[in-house]
Each structure stands twice: as C-alpha cells, then as structure tokens.
Amino acid sequence: MLRWIAAIAQQQDHMMPHMNPVNWALVALAVVAFSALLVFLLFPQLERVRSGENFRPHVEKIERESSPSLEDTDKEAMNRRALAVALRLLEPDEKRVVEAIGKAGGSMLQKDISHELGFTRVQTHRVMVRLIRRGVVTAEKYYNTNRIEIADWLNE
C-alpha cells in the first residue's frame, strides 16, 4: 500500500514539475476565495432577512374569532393567547425554537438554540429565516453568532 502511494506521488512530481510552492499557494488561495463567495451567496446574514408575510394579522384574526369577549385591558392574557395561537400555526421545528426562546426569557443566542435542540447550524439558520420572514422573531448580530428574540407583538 505504501509503495502504491509513493508511486503516485512520484508520478505527480514528474507530471507537474511547473507547480512550485508559490503556485500551490495561489491555487489554494483561489479555492478559499471561491468557497467564501459561495458561503456568502448561499447563506444570507440573518440581519438582512426581512419580514415578508405578516404573521401577526393571522394570529390576531384567529384570536378574535376564538374569544371575542376578551377585554383589551387584560394585556397579559392577550399576549399568552397570541403566543398560543402563533405556536399552533408554526411548523414543528419552528415551534420548538419559539418554545426554547420563551423558556429562556424571550432571548437566546443562535448557537445555543442549535446546541439545545440538537439542530445543525444549517437547519437552525433555515428555521430562523422562516421565523424572521413571518415576523415571529428578530435577529441581531452578536459577536460570531446572532441574538434571537421573540417579536415585540408576541412578547409585550
């Protein structure tokens, strides 16, 4: 096996005598730059993601239909009901994330969400993008991760 590897290495030396260490460094630099470009294009920063479909009117409509007698003065009860209705409308992964953030007091780091729920970084990113687009959570850059907070209309 070792002879076979040595033979391949020797063949490469004969086939590519023009590839000196400087050329290898340039090739490596080009590969790294291309990889970084792909990452930036495929994974947008969460702070750039904007709320698209407004989730709040759906929640408020369902909330009014389910209990039209609830007075506007009982804000705490209304907020609990709004959160309960919002949770019913979310997908299972989104629901788990919102519940975890709620248990943590309404704010959590994205890397902690990944760790606590056992999600991959990509899976967490995709769930965050969906939640931000729906207006359920907000994200702001926090060192090398993001601070995720439940939206004000759910956490008033």
Residues 6+ apart with CB under 8 A from 13: none
pLDDT, tens digit, for every residue of 58-72?
Answer: 667 776 666 655 555
pLDDT, tens digit, for every residue of 91-130?
Answer: 999 999 999 998 999 999 999 999 999 999 999 999 999 9
Q: What is the pLDDT of residue 7?
A: 63
Q: What is the pLDDT of residue 126?
A: 92
Residue 27, domain member (yes or no) = no
Q: What is the pLDDT of residue 49?
A: 61
Residue 125, domain member (yes or no) = yes
Residue 91, domain member (yes or no) = yes
Q: Is 118 left (phi over 0), alpha (psi -120 to 50) or beta?
A: left
Residue 106, domain member (yes or no) = yes
Q: What is the pLDDT of residue 46?
A: 61
Residue 87, domain member (yes or no) = yes
| Rounded-to-integer distance, Cα 71 and Cα 111, Å | 39
Q: pLDDT tier at 44 (50, 70, 90 boundaries)?
A: low
| Rounded-to-integer distance, Cα 65 and Cα 53, Å | 21
Q: What is the pLDDT of residue 128?
A: 92
Q: What is the pLDDT of residue 93?
A: 94
Q: What is the pLDDT of residue 101?
A: 93
Question: CATH number, domain at 109?
Answer: 1.10.10.10
pLDDT, tens digit, for every residue of 1-40?
Answer: 556 656 655 655 555 555 566 666 777 788 888 877 777 6
CB 114 within 8 A of CB 120: yes
Range of lowest pLDDT (14-23, 57-66, 132-141, 144-153): 14-23
Q: What is the pLDDT of residue 109?
A: 95
Residue 14, domain member (yes or no) = no
| Rounded-to-integer distance, Cα 139 and Cα 128, Å | 8
Could you list the residue range(s) of the whole structural domain that residue 102 is in?
46-150
Count of domains in the chain?
1
Q: Is 105 left (phi over 0), alpha (psi -120 to 50) or beta?
A: left
Residue 22, domain member (yes or no) = no
| Rounded-to-integer distance, Cα 30 and Cα 108, Å | 37
CB 113 within 8 A of CB 148: yes
Residue 20, domain member (yes or no) = no
